[in-house]
Amino acid sequence: MTKSVLITGGGRGIGFGIAEKLAEAGFNIAICDVLPEAETVPKINQMVSCYGAAALYCPCDVTDSVARENMLNRIISRFGSLDVLVNNAGVAPKARTDITEMTEESYDRVMNINLKGPFFLTQLVARHMLEQQKNNPDFTGCIINIGSISATVASISRGEYCLSKAGIGMMTSLWAVRLAETGIPVYEIRPGIIKTDMTALVKDKYDKLISDGLVPQKRWGYPEDIAKAAAMLARGDLAYSTGQVIQVDGGMTIARL
């Protein structure tokens, strides 16, 4: 039976790159996003037609508990089960401000989308996976969280983002421990500086920093770099490594003199 994967924030950027790579690997694809269907569905259909995979677009705000449940029900109705969850949906602050000026509104928005929503979606999907195991002892699932180097690299102009990604790190550990005995691994991928819509506004800044040696490999990362790591995990290539954090950052977080 063909396995299915749900990728949140999958309509563009890193999420869409992961969707493409997993479609190529033979997964059925469910994409969750808040982008208009007219903009997203044709792009998804074009992608899956190249690989023969089935696809489903689920407009969903991950912070909405009812929307999360409806989305999972749609996926199960379409594909029979959900085998892999990729928590990728995330936002940056609308405005970069010093932490002395950060507003509660900005903090709540970023934390709700980047951490609270993914945590409770993982809870919902984990319950489904455990039920699947009861009905089918051969069922194997996998959960992949897309974090960020900002989990450990402080950026005082977007503290709420850093806090949310540090939370994703602990969320990964918590679910990895909880699900370890079931054989359902949980991982985290921490991207570095990736060329996407989110980083477009700071392109010139990072072009210079990369040129000046911030990243040892001296280039931007691309969604495909993250997608290759996600495909490896979704296939089960690191099944005995639950809880691991995979840095995909060009060596940026290596301690150097």
Phi, psi of 178 (to 5 degrees): -65, -40
Q: Describe the strand order of the beta sheet including 142-146 as a list of residue ranges.
A: 55-59, 28-33, 4-8, 84-87, 142-146, 186-191, 245-248
Is 161 in the active site? yes
pTM, two decimals, is 0.97
Per-residue pLDDT tens digits for 64-105: 999 999 999 999 999 999 999 999 999 999 999 999 999 999
Q: Who's near 33: CB < 8 A, 6+ residues apart?
A: 8, 9, 10, 11, 12, 15, 40, 57, 59, 60, 89
Q: Residue 34 — very low, low, confident or very high, per pLDDT cuts 50/70/90?
A: very high
pLDDT in tens, 105-123: 999 999 999 999 999 999 9
pLDDT score of 48 more than 90: no
pLDDT at 171: 98
Q: Indicate the burial class of 66 (C-beta count within 10 angstroms; 0-12, 13-18, 19 or more).
A: exposed
DSSP state of 156: T
Catalytic residue among 51, 57, 161, 206: 161
Distance CA 8, CA 210 (A): 29
Average pLDDT, the chain: 96
How far are the Cα atoms of 13, 165, 166 from residue 152, in angstroms, in the given order? 22, 8, 7
Q: Is residue 160 within 8 Å of residue 111, measured between CB atoms?
A: yes
pLDDT class of 198 with cuts at 50, 70, 90: confident
Cβ neighbours, 10 Å, residue 100: 7
133 CB neighbour count, 10 Å cutoff: 16
Q: For the residues 214-241, what does the mean pLDDT come to?
A: 98
Beta strands in 97-195 (DSSP E): 142-146, 186-191
Predicted local distance difference test score (pLDDT) of residue 49: 86
Residues in the chain: 257
Dist. CA 192–CA 220, nearest whole Å: 8
Judge whether residue 202 has pLDDT over 90: no
Tell me how far apart the 2 most distant CA atoms of the chain are, in Å.
Answer: 55
Residue 25: its pLDDT value, please?
Answer: 96
CATH superfamily label, 4-248: NAD(P)-binding Rossmann-like Domain (3.40.50.720)
